[in-house]
Chain A
Amino acid sequence: MSILNVFNSPTTFALATCVMADRRRINGPPGGTRPAIYATSLPSIKDADRARRQRQPSELRKIFLKTGLIPSASGSSYLEFEPSASLAAARANPKSLIPPSSALKLACTVHGPKPLPRSVAFSPNIVLTTHVKYAPFAARKRKGHIRDASERDLGVHLETALRGAIIAERWPKSGLDITITIIEAEDDRWWGDAPDSHDASWGMMNVLAGCINAASAAIADAHIDCLDLVSGGVAALVTDNDGGAPQLMLDTDPAEHRSIVSACVVGYMPARDEITALWLKGGTSKAALDEQDGRSGHEALVDGAVDAARGAHMVLGEAVKESMERALGQTT
């Protein structure tokens, strides 16, 4: 018992997270090892192999969203983005072992509402906990077993997006756990590119939009009252040719663009026309907009993200309808 206590005491845990060392597993080298590359193979990494966007600027990727796949959870969903054209082509006709881009896949489970443990103080509202974790194999660079700063940051963003929609006072003294496992993450850039000055974790924004969509489907699947289905959408200002002004594109796959100047993700409730979460990164002042467009760059970017979220909302509605039909079929 005493040993157990030592391991469970918060100080030990805080210590372990503070140095961020995972001492319970035998982990591979944190940075990954670099495969041997022979000079003869070098011409194979060509700019021509770069993945390119085949969609219209305002065309979204298809979303696969299904609820209720995890029976032990009170609500669950699985979300997948359509693979880009280049990825589909590379799968059909493989030239290299390295896939040109990746497509987001994630699973979300909702546990609750469940009573809070006795040790927790009274809360008049539902206590929401969000937990976002990349699978170790989700990204090109391996992620550890302990959540790193970016994963916890995603969790905070997701919580902000969902809390605005959940009608929290209907479940006093209860908790709601939302756990998201990212099975395949989006790339931050084309894999052949080295990070440059425009570099940032752009893929995270698509992941967040996916998390918001999956989580609100799972919450609806768990029959938790919300003001509306929150849906996530991404828009970005991208420059594909050198020297051009950044163009506004919806639902960008960072692997398909040469450089992303700024990007924005929103959690949006179409019924109320309200934004529950907003995360905008990068300079927006140089955006190429129409002459008569009176909006500034960031406004256009937010509006673009809202349009993308509206698109995702339609998929969400269908998925929730399916979940409802299944629930009705079970009761009768």
Chain B
Amino acid sequence: MAAQQKASSASQTPHLSPAELSYLYTSLSLPQNPIRPDGRSPTQFRPLTAEPDILPGTNGSARIGFADGTQAVVGVKAEVEKTVLSADTLDASNLSQQQGDFAAQEGRDGREGAGSAAVAGHGSWVQVSIEIPGFRDDDALPVFLSEMMRESLVGSVAGGNDSSDEMAGGLKGRLVINKRWHWRLYIDSQGEEDPFFDDDWAVAEHLYPRGTTNSTVKLSSSVPQVRPPITLLVISVGENTIFDPSREEIAVADAVLAISVARDGGDKNLKLLSIRTIDPPSRLTQPAVPNSENVNALGATAPTEDVAVLNPATGEEEVPGVWRPRRGGVKRSVIAQMVKTVLKKGGVGEEVLEGLEGVEVE
């Protein structure tokens, strides 16, 4: 199974038979009201517990756990590092400053002015590593997850919200100490016990308490308006959009998207930070054989029993109840629908963020 596990970025799928896959797919793709194996509504999340500040050796830490025993622990460490502008970042304005009164600027907070790396920070100062038991650290899944998280974290306030000067430049800007020194942030998360793809969601939420503890440690001013981003895992099955999918549900998904959102400045609106498609594991499953093509079942069924019908969601001819691995991609309208469900007022994104704001961080 090793090769197949490595083959997908959404791997570690459960071993379901084609019949089971077909059953799941059919119930999840029922128009309007899908039936999920655990009885949740399409936008309902599994209950989860989160507690911040559990590791005394870190600058910020958190643990998150689902009811089914999945959990993840995140620790954040900040270290002071000397800012080295490499050759590819040299900037004319920066250079002229340097050869001028370099010593005089040293003690000054470098957050004034705009444009130079010493002011705006650098994305590589945030380092994310994810460890999942059963995966090597160069496997597709951990690499993909850590890049995804780093991307939304680093880019989160890059749009620049004018409301608070403290957050100008986003997380990257916050890491600047002065012209010559900056913080380097190490975010390490460790999945534990029955890890599967949902971990990324759990982990991403960990970053939320992390960001706030961090802000209190480092700035101890009144900026907790700005929240770290969250990443939601959304799947589409047939015409339905389903949130917080379990492993079994991901296994039959037509499309899997990871959507990162954050609060847009001080107001209540959500803004989109990134979308990534994730390789749906349904493409790697084993197909079933309809009775009409099965030599062993010859004559056992009437020829009218399995007639291929067109699945409107995938555009493929399928015999009902006979599983076929998914092929092709996802329509643009489906993606737009999924993003809309996350972003709309009172939508899922807002609900999750509000829930997270209830986590107590001292």
Interface residues of A (CB under 8 A from B): 10, 14, 17-18, 31-35, 37, 39, 42, 45-46, 116, 120-121, 123-125, 127-129, 140-141, 147, 149-150, 152-153, 155-157, 159-160, 163-165, 167-169, 175, 191-201, 227, 261, 267-269, 272-286, 297-299, 302-303, 306
Contacts and interface: CB of A to CB of B under 8 A. Distances in A.
Nearest to B286: A124
A231 B233 CA distance: 26
Contacts of A160: 9, 277-279
B330 to A, nearest CB: 6
A275 B330 contact: yes
Contact of A128 (B7, B92, B120): B7
Interface residues of B, number: 76
B56 to A, nearest CB: 25
Contacts of B88: 32, 140-141, 191
Nearest to B270: A285
Contacts of A281: 151, 155, 273-274
A168 B120 CA distance: 46
Interface stretch (B36-44, B93-101, B196-204): B93-101
Interface stretch (B71-79, B164-172, B297-305): B164-172
Which of A157, A163, A175, A273: most chain B CB closer than 10 A?
Answer: A163
A156 B144 contact: yes
24 contacts: A34-B85, A34-B87, A123-B4, A124-B285, A156-B9, A163-B283, A164-B283, A164-B327, A175-B3, A194-B117, A195-B123, A197-B158, A197-B172, A199-B158, A200-B123, A200-B154, A276-B277, A277-B329, A278-B277, A279-B276, A282-B158, A283-B271, A285-B264, A299-B332
B173 interface: yes
B275 interface: yes
B219 interface: no
Contacts of B287: 124, 169
Interface of B: 1-4, 7, 9, 84-92, 94-96, 99, 114-117, 119-123, 136-138, 140, 143-144, 146-147, 151, 154-155, 157-160, 168-170, 172-173, 257, 264, 269, 271-279, 283-287, 315, 325, 327-332, 335-336, 339
Contact of B86 (A31, A123, A150): A31
Contact of A156 (B87, B140, B168, B332): B140
Given A194-B117, A306-B332, A149 B146 contact: yes
Q: 9 shortest A-B CB distances, which residue pairs?
A: A274-B329, A276-B329, A194-B91, A283-B159, A197-B169, A45-B92, A280-B275, A194-B117, A196-B120
A194 B120 contact: yes
A299 B9 CA distance: 25
Contacts of B115: 193-194, 196
B185 to A, nearest CB: 15
A31 B84 contact: yes
B137 A199 contact: no
Contacts of B315: 272
Contacts, number: 220
A18 to B, nearest CB: 5
B21 to A, nearest CB: 13
B9 A302 contact: no
B328 A164 contact: yes
- Contact residues of B: prevailing secondary structure: mixed
A152 B143 contact: yes
A34 B123 CA distance: 20
A267 B284 CA distance: 19
Contacts of B3: 116, 120-121, 123, 127, 175
A32 B328 contact: no
Given A37-B95, A120-B2, A197-B158, A273 B331 contact: yes
Contact of A200 (B138, B155, B269, B328): B155
A32 B143 CA distance: 25
B138 A299 contact: no
B279 A163 contact: yes
Contacts of A121: 1-4
Contact of A227 (B116, B257, B327): B327
A155 B7 CA distance: 11
Contacts of B121: 197
A235 B273 CA distance: 16
A280 B86 contact: no
Nearest to A128: B7
A125 B287 CA distance: 9
B96 A42 contact: yes
Contact of B123 (A152, A199, A286): A199
Which of A128, A168, A197, A267: most chain B CB closer than 10 A?
Answer: A197
B95 A152 contact: no
Nearest to A306: B332
Given A195-B120, A199-B120, A168 B283 contact: yes
A244 B37 CA distance: 50
B187 to A, nearest CB: 13
A269 to B, nearest CB: 6
B140 A34 contact: no
Given A274-B329, A283-B158, A46 B92 contact: yes
A171 B140 CA distance: 23
Nearest to A261: B159
Given A18-B137, A159-B9, A279-B277, A285 B272 contact: yes
A147 B95 CA distance: 32
A274 B328 contact: yes
Given A121-B4, A141-B88, A160-B9, A197 B275 contact: no
Contacts of B160: 197
Which of A268, A269, A273, A283: most chain B CB closer than 10 A?
Answer: A283
B275 A298 contact: yes
A121 B154 CA distance: 40
Given A169-B287, A191-B88, A196-B117, 20 more contacts: A17-B138, A34-B86, A120-B3, A123-B7, A125-B283, A127-B7, A147-B138, A150-B147, A156-B143, A164-B328, A168-B325, A192-B90, A192-B91, A195-B89, A272-B315, A275-B335, A276-B328, A280-B276, A281-B273, A284-B271
